[in-house]
Structure 1
Amino acid sequence: MTGRSTGKSNDKLLLHVCCGPCSIYPLELLNLRFKTTCYFYNPNIYPESEYRRRFETMKIYADYAGIKLEYNKAGDNFNDFIFAISENKAKRCEICYMIRLDMTAQKAAMEGYDYYSTTLLYSIYMDHQKVKSIGESLGELHGVDFYYSDFREGWRKGVSSSKEMGMYRQNYCGCIYSLEDRAERLKMKEQKKSGQGGK
């Protein structure tokens, strides 16, 4: 299902949430149409302290917004995630989308939701079309409609709102490889600064 409509319905939607800041704008839209439940399932997040920090931020926001939040324990399926991407690091992001959306679609189907969706559609850093394609395919596989909307249009609004609320805003995507990539970028940046400073 694609698009936006007005008026509240009785349809239930399970929203996969990756973090608090990315949830603000999607929930603002979805709550106009659906009875929305959030599902925090992100076995990719490393280390565990980071997982807990993102989860606590999401929990605080869900409580504030009056949204039901379901979740898995920290560390659940982390080893499975690492194993899945270790043999194909070049496609790690695609595999990561698939793992998280597959679990969400299964849960939505088993628990009688009409639709499922994800806050990954909000991030300007994700492969948007890949997320959409995987979401639709898994919806067909598990028998639950994937609700698509380009939440990126509310990117600036969500960023502004999260800062106003004092939310924790992470500086890397989540997995150990994205953390290493960030460390490498910072190292190169420092080396460049040092080189320029010595001239």
Structure 2
Amino acid sequence: MILIHVCCGPCLLYPLAWFRERGIEVVGYFYNPNIHPYREFKARIKALEEVEALKGLNILWDKNYGLRWFIKETLMVWENPQKRCERCYVVRLKQTVKKALELKAEAFTTTLLYSIYQRHNLIREIAEDLSHKYKIPFFYEDFRKGYQLGQQEALNIGIYRQAYCGCVFSEEERYSKTRKKELNKSLKKEE
């Protein structure tokens, strides 16, 4: 069994189909203290519960709203999007590794590898580091190739699809033209 960290319902659809086509058993794990506001957090839980029921998948839940903790964890790096996202990935993947070890899973992975908007190479690097540190295999697959298929399925079944990664900083960047410009400048400097 592979434990798959699940950020949301739509991002699970393609990876789940991929695993099932290959006869690989997966269990989902929802742990996302980054999601803001509370209404968004609840909407993502509801959408994932719909996928859980529709697909007959076992999902382990951490439904604690973690905004205060997340802000504390990312406050020192909030102006640097690369570092902020890195910290967020580390927090969620480290907790996934701990849960995988507790369950005696064969490996762990994440639906973050599905999104075309996430920092794919950084996610992979962090997961590989955690794999080495905690002595549990990281199952890598570039699920982005199925992004459109997963999004179309989410539309077809009518589940909620979010418009940003979930964190308060991302929400601001989504709506603020000034913040988008600042973000683009920051990311170009890092390249």
Tell me which residue corresponds to 2:11: 22
- Rate the CA distance shift 1:187–1:178 in 2: closer, same or farther, 3 A: closer
Aligned equivalent of 1:145, options 134, 137, 140: 137
Give the residue type in structure 1 aligned to 2:68: N
Does residue 157 of structure 1 match 2:146? no
Does residue 180 of structure 1 match 2:162? no
Partner SS, residue 15 of structure 1 = strand
Partner SS, residue 108 of structure 2 = strand
Partner SS, residue 87 of structure 1 = helix
Tell me how far 1:137 sits from its aligned partner: 0.8
Partner SS, residue 176 of structure 2 = helix
Partner SS, residue 140 of structure 2 = coil
Query: How many equivalent residue pairs?
Result: 176
Tell me how far 1:62 sits from its aligned partner: 1.0
- CA deviations on 1:70-126 (whole Å, 9 max, x unpaired) are 111231x43222111100121111111111000001110121000100000000001
Using the alignment, how far apart are the partners of 2:64 and 2:37 within structure 1?
10
Tell me how far 1:172 sits from its aligned partner: 1.2
Contact 1:44 1:174 in 2 (8 A): yes
Superposition TM-score, scaled by structure 1 size: 0.84
Give the residue type in structure 1 aligned to 2:101: A
- Rate the CA distance shift 1:170–1:186 in 2: closer, same or farther, 3 A: farther
Q: How does 1:120-139 map to 2 (within 5 A)?
A: 120-139=112-131
CA-atom RMSD in angstroms? 1.6
**Any gaps of 5 or more consecutive residues in structure 2?**
181-191
- CA deviations on 1:48-84 (whole Å, 9 max, x unpaired) are 1110100110011011101001111231x43222111
Structure 1 runs of 4+ with >4 Å offset? none
Aligned equivalent of 1:35, options 7, 25, 47: 25
Using the alignment, how far apart are the partners of 1:142 and 1:187 within structure 2?
37
Does residue 63 of structure 1 match 2:46? no
Tell me which residue corresponds to 2:68: 79
- Rate the CA distance shift 1:130–1:187 in 2: closer, same or farther, 3 A: closer
Contact 1:52 1:74 in 2 (8 A): no
Give the residue type in structure 2 aligned to 1:26: P
Using the alignment, how far apart are the partners of 2:141 and 2:13 within structure 1?
14
Contact 1:51 1:74 in 2 (8 A): no
Tell me which residue corresponds to 2:96: 104
Superposition TM-score, scaled by structure 2 size: 0.88
User: Aligned residues: percent identity?
Assistant: 38
Tell me how far 1:155 sits from its aligned partner: 0.8
Give the residue type in structure 1 aligned to 2:156: E
**Any gaps of 5 or more consecutive residues in structure 1?**
1-11, 189-199
Using the alignment, how far apart are the partners of 1:172 and 1:37 within structure 2?
25
